Amino acid sequence: MNTTAPTLIRPGLMWRLYIAAWTTYGVFISFADQLDWVVEGRFDAGRWLLTFVSLLPSALLLALAWPLTGFFERRAYRLGSIIAIHIPTAFVFSVVSQTPFWLSFHTAKPISWYVWPLLYHVMTYLLGAGVFHLIRASEAAHRQALVVKDAQNLVIASELSALRNKLNPHFLFNTLHSIIALTQRNPAAAETALFQFSDMLRYVLDTERSGSDRVTLDAELDFVRDYLELEQLRLGERLQVEWDLDEDAGDHPLPALSLQPLVENSIKHAFNPHSRPGILQIRTRRDPASGALTMTVRDTGPGADPAAIATSSGLGLRTIERRLQLDYGSRAAMRVKSAPGAGFSVSVTIPAVREESYA
């Protein structure tokens, strides 16, 4: 979580813009003050410089409105109180700013010559203070947005962790149950299965220790091969596996245990309840245009009614779908195709994402 939020406008940049704006304004006013003379071909450089310098008090005094707006923000003043303070401050600013000009160009002038510049400076102050308030409001909104974003990221990370904690024990329980069942019929095969299971367990623990659950497709496929070899010790010739892999997609990053639960789901529903043999197909393809990876697991089992799939309380597929939503949003997808007697197929599409390292 960010401890300090970056600002929209850095203070140095803001003050450079402030100086540039006042300089441009001063140059313009200094020329406008003797515009009639310029039209006649005359130009008084001394008067021009004096007019320009007489604006410096206004620029310096208006800059003090910045810390004043910060004081209002820290004290959480209400709008009415802020206006009540700014209005008299604007008149004070106007008188103090205009006094050097009056002293520099003291001549007998009508009262309007004094009133209109005062009102003009009042509007200048209120405009400048308003801009300062808008900048601070934008910064506050920006900081709040970052806080909300950090909070959302923490929620997502917590939910992902909770989902993984649901998924891993689910997989571990099923695998251990298979090994226990195997020990009663074939102790030697059970010993081999235990060694394979230790390799699989190391894969799960390595992703936990790394702090990131990202792995490459090749690593996930090796894990699935170990899992299927273990299951074939139990199922024998009933389980026939067909691989159709995209060799160029092996480095694609994906969440650990994204493919294995799809395979486990087929084993559970297409092979465990039946004594007849079946075919399990595993296919991977990376789209050459978008770089997205699609993994498909298809079996020749009894299939299921789509309505029953939608209302199923099963954990594996729902957990995978939720993890994809949290990790990739709408860029990822999971599609299930099945019908009674027509087997079961599930495809997962994961967008192209650059990763620095994988488990």
Split at pLDDT 50, 70, 90, the class of 143 is: confident
Cα(255)–Cα(214) distance, integer angstroms: 5
Average pLDDT of every residue of the chain: 80
Residues 6+ apart with CB under 8 A from 69: 129, 132, 133, 136
* Residues constituting the chain: 359
Q: What is the pLDDT of residues 305-324, one digit of tens each?
A: 877 776 665 656 777 888 88
Beta-strand relationship, 344-350 and 333-338 = antiparallel
Q: How far apart are CA 44 and CA 41, in angstroms?
A: 10
Q: Are 222 and 261 in contact (CB under 8 A)?
A: no
Q: Which residues contact 156 (CB under 8 A, 6 or more apart)?
A: 326
pTM confidence score? 0.54
Q: Which two tokens stand for residue 139?
A: 């910064």
Reported confidence tier of residue 83, pLDDT bands at 50, 70, 90: very high
Q: Which amino acid is at 200?
A: M
CB 297 within 8 Å of CB 262: yes
The string of pLDDT tens digits covering residues 107-133 is 666 666 667 778 888 898 999 899 999
Find the radius of gyration of the CA atoms of the chain: 37
Please check the confidence at residue 359 and state whether its pLDDT lies above 50: no
